[in-house]
Amino acid sequence: MSTHIIDAFIQYGFMRRSLVACLALSLSLAPLGVFLLLRRMSLVGDALSHAVLPGVAVGYLLSGMSLLAMGLGGFIAGLVVAMASGWISKMTRLQEDSAFAGLYLGSLALGVTLVSLRSNGVDLLHLLFGSLLAVDADSLMFIGAISSFTLLVIALLYRGIVFESFNASFFTMHSRSFSLLMHGLFMALVVLNLVAGFQVLGTLMTVGLMMLPAIAARCWTNRLGVMLLVAVLLGMLSSVIGLAWSWYQSIPAGPAIVLTATAVFLFSVLFGSQKGIFTRSKSMVYSN
């Protein structure tokens, strides 16, 4: 059975490139998802994945399917939405998620409108859902560079990111400027990785590989280091199984990976050793 699963990766180069891209993305997306979860900002990743679309669309209109132009445009658009949401929240006393909701819906509509000015339906679907099986060497280098940079920044600023994630208010009281810097840098990393993922998974699917393994990992452990490792491993496992499933069942690769991650999430919600429904039910029975 295991040999049957890896046959496609052994025989076809484009399957190996797709797998490497997903494994590299899992290394950086899953830890960022864990920190978003700890900050109670799980849906912010989804909002930002929509927010990058106008910038991607502008890059597409100016340079066609240029990875550099679309990536740079998406990063600028996502960062503008992230910073604008924080500013609106501070100026109006609205919750930051409310500001995100208002901005990302408009960004999504604007992005689809801009793409439709020049594209056909195939191009629009490529931007929204990616083209994982068409990953080339340039895309792999782009994804690898962003994943490596993300891991390096997390390693260097790990203590600050963790502290700001667990107790942002206390951090702000003692060092407001440093807290703002850490928050801004973290959001920039999130946007950067969503931009890296849009080429292979699309703007709508990338957030699935970011948040689903992170939430699933939270169901199995309370220790942050272990949680980060489990999230990465679950993301990689979902990538391997999802790609194999897409190949043998002839279904889109990106949705197959996210559906696999969803199945892992549901299993973890039911049977996770820390947050699982059945595990908690047993604990309550034994305690009574």
pLDDT tens digit at each of 288 positions of the chain: 455 567 777 887 888 888 999 999 999 999 999 999 988 887 788 778 888 888 888 887 787 777 778 888 888 988 888 888 877 877 777 776 677 777 878 887 888 788 777 655 445 666 666 677 678 888 889 899 999 999 999 999 998 888 877 776 666 666 667 777 888 889 899 999 988 887 778 767 888 999 999 999 999 999 999 999 999 999 999 999 999 888 888 888 888 999 999 999 999 999 988 888 877 665 555 555
> What's the domain range around 86?
2-279
Does residue 286 lie in a domain region? no
Does residue 284 lie in a domain region? no
10 Å CB burial of residue 175 (0-12, 13-18, 19+) is middle
Total domains present in the chain: 1
CATH number, domain with residue 197 = 1.10.3470.10
Residue listed under structure tokens 């740079």: 72
Does residue 285 lie in a domain region? no
Does residue 150 lie in a domain region? yes
pTM as predicted: 0.86
Does residue 158 lie in a domain region? yes
From residue 190, alpha-carbon distances to 76, 154, 185 in Å are 12, 12, 9
Does residue 166 lie in a domain region? yes
Does residue 152 lie in a domain region? yes
208/218 Cα distance (integer angstroms): 15
